[in-house]
Structure 1
Amino acid sequence: MRSLGFAAFRLLGPPVGASAPQHSWSLANRGAGHEVIAETLRIQEEHPSRSWWARLVGTNPLSARSHSWFRGAVGEIAVGKILARLGPEWTVLHAVPVGAGASDIDHVLIGPAGVFTLNTKNHSNTDVWVGDRAILVGGHQQHYLPHARHESSRAAKRLSTAVGEPVPVTPVLVLIEPKQLTGKQRHADVKVVTDRELLRWLQRRRPVLTDEQVARIAAAAVVPSTWHNNPAPPEDPVALQERFAELRGSVRSARLRRELWRLGGMVAVLGLLTGAEPVRSVLDVF
């Protein structure tokens, strides 16, 4: 997977119609889920720490507000790992800030097969139905298709301006581990794939860009001002990932403790029913 950064920008020169980079940082350094992770951690900081009893019984450390953000971050990280398996001819950017506010595009891909914006939705173990104009998640309609179209349109406009020639962008909606995916439209303008289908679908697409075009687009894409009106330096991506990994570990540990308590209760009931000596303490199962 290619990461051009500013070295390639200097080597190739600025794309036609683009100005020289104005920032000392590159979007190529951002990890998957950067913005969602930052928001998850920010919300969590407002949530009181769990009591010793809550930790003992495995109460979920996530607050009600941070839960959906956490799931979103986990989904984007999962897709980021998949995209890392693309060949060196691809440039992959994550959490690309776009516009004037806090909006971002989950993933932007640039390679011989074209330019793609990926919107990731984590709906693991949930039924999803996809039609030409609507998506139902657990029976509830979501506005994912128009949002994906809007993202690709913004990306195409921004990149076209930076490069100085039209840059078509294909919108892709990536669904993480749906329980069942039905009604999928293969010829819709928004490509809908599961995380398991994503890599193969990208690798099987025929080339539409030359190496020079890929390099010119990628060189412009890593420049923050290509996308955002007033880009601000991001938080340290390494520190952010470390803090999120710690939170994720706490969530896993709490889930395990809940399972062990449930198992201890089942063992105790079974012992009473069979007349066997009961477990002296639920803590024994730990």
Structure 2
Amino acid sequence: MGDLRTERWRRYGHDRVYVNRAADSAAVAWYDCRTGKINILDETYRAEALSALAPFLTPEPDATPTTEPPIRPSPPPAAPPPPVTAPPPSHDLAANKPGASLRRHIDELEPSPLLRTLKRWFGLDAELRPWETGLQGERIAGKSLNRLRRDGWFILHSVELPSGADIDHVAIGPPGVFTINTKHHRGGRIWLGDHAAMVNGQPTPYVRNSLFEARRAARLLTHTCGFPVDVHPVLAVVGAATMTIRTTAPSIHLIDGSHASHALSTLSPVLTPTDTERIYTAAREQNTWHTTPGKPGHA
């Protein structure tokens, strides 16, 4: 028992008790105080975890009052359920498709698919064109990122923020957590320096925006998970003719969005499967991205 400790976790309608290893804070089990369900994440700790959770187990709600100490219910004997608990469907971001936010904006600009097609034919789509180009880029990058799911990654798309902006993609896997800002520049020349990126010789805010997204995601995920979550910014460019990196220590990752899965899969693992799943459980909940944590030390 000396190598395990319990931690109460109450957020967004959840009330849970986690059993963590003292050495590395990795969760081995958790108990849902509202439903009475026990989830064993590491079978080698089953007996110790159940013993640690015993003080938190509640008696049956219709039990007859008695002066004797309540009898604790036996833990469920069945095999443990999946450790990732899905949030209510209305708040589950896992269902979002790549470019979902752009798709909605395009529909608002021109609800009729027929009129959108006619405008493209007659060259009257100047207002729609940049949005449709962006949508195509996010779909290409998103399709590539989805391939990472075969290797234990979790991928989210179009994570909307209270400001109305969105994070194009969030990738959570063994090498860590990544926010991915996708841009579509067919035939473009991309240049990345220490703190700036240019497209065809013109400066862009891509580095600043990518850093902002990652820092915001880190604050929100850390606040919800209850432990530090590092988030790495990625700029994924689709369709570029050339991509040049003129710095030995870039502040963001610059990758080819068409081959995003390959670029991320080559990185070294740093997260355990348990931590990966805990971060994903928080990230897929819409409420996580709409919280207001304490003022951070950095903007």
| Paired position in structure 2 for 1:194 | 256
Distance 2:192 2:104 in 1: 30
The answer to which structure has the higher helix fraction is: 1
Query: Does the aligned pair in 1 maintain the 2:144–2:259 contact within 8 Å?
Result: no
| Paired position in structure 2 for 1:18 | 11
Letter in 2 for 1:59: F
Query: Does the aligned pair in 2 maintain the 1:16–1:162 contact within 8 Å?
Result: no
SS at match of 1:173: strand
> Is 1:154 paired with 2:206?
no
Distance 1:50 1:205 in 2: 41
Which of 83, 107, 110 is the equivalent residue of 1:41? 107
Which of 127, 132, 140 is the equivalent residue of 2:189? 127
TM-score (ref. length: structure 2): 0.65
Query: Does the aligned pair in 2 maintain the 1:17–1:163 contact within 8 Å?
Result: no
Deviation at 1:205, TM superposition (A): 1.0
Distance 2:182 2:230 in 1: 20
- Quickly say closer, same or farther: Cα 1:88–1:20, change in 2 above 3 A: farther
1:137-159 deviations in whole A, cap 9, x for unaligned?
12211010010000000100000
Superposition RMSD in Å: 2.7
- Quickly say closer, same or farther: Cα 1:15–1:134, change in 2 above 3 A: farther
Query: Does the aligned pair in 2 maintain the 1:124–1:177 contact within 8 Å?
Result: yes
SS at match of 2:163: coil
| Paired position in structure 2 for 1:94 | 157
| Paired position in structure 1 for 2:59 | none
Distance 2:289 2:163 in 1: 11
Percent identity, aligned pairs only? 32
Distance 1:114 1:51 in 2: 41
Distance 2:8 2:280 in 1: 10
Letter in 1 for 2:13: A
Query: Does the aligned pair in 1 maintain the 2:12–2:287 contact within 8 Å?
Result: no
| Paired position in structure 1 for 2:141 | 79
1:100-157 deviations in whole A, cap 9, x for unaligned?
2211100001111110000000011112221112211122110100100000001000
Give the 5 Å matches for 1:130-209.
130-185=192-247, 187-209=249-271
Which stretches in structure 2 are left out of the alignment for 5+ residues? 1-6, 15-86, 293-299
SS at match of 1:69: helix
TM-score (ref. length: structure 1): 0.67
| Paired position in structure 1 for 2:32 | none
Distance 2:271 2:140 in 1: 27
Distance 1:116 1:214 in 2: 12
Distance 1:165 1:229 in 2: 16
- Quickly say closer, same or farther: Cα 1:47–1:210, change in 2 above 3 A: closer
Relative to structure 2, which stretch is displaced further, 16-25 or 187-196? 16-25
Relative to structure 2, which stretch is displaced further, 18-27 or 30-39? 18-27
1:218-272 deviations in whole A, cap 9, x for unaligned?
1111111000259xxxxxxxxxxxxxxxxxxxxxxxxxxxxxxxxxxxxxxxxxx
Query: Does the aligned pair in 2 maintain the 1:15–1:163 contact within 8 Å?
Result: no
Which stretches in structure 1 are left out of the alignment for 5+ residues? 1-13, 231-286
Distance 1:162 1:215 in 2: 13
Give the 5 Å matches for 1:57-72.
58-60=121-123, 63-72=125-134
- Quickly say closer, same or farther: Cα 1:221–1:84, change in 2 above 3 A: same
- Quickly say closer, same or farther: Cα 1:127–1:221, change in 2 above 3 A: same
1:184-212 deviations in whole A, cap 9, x for unaligned?
44531211111244222211111111111
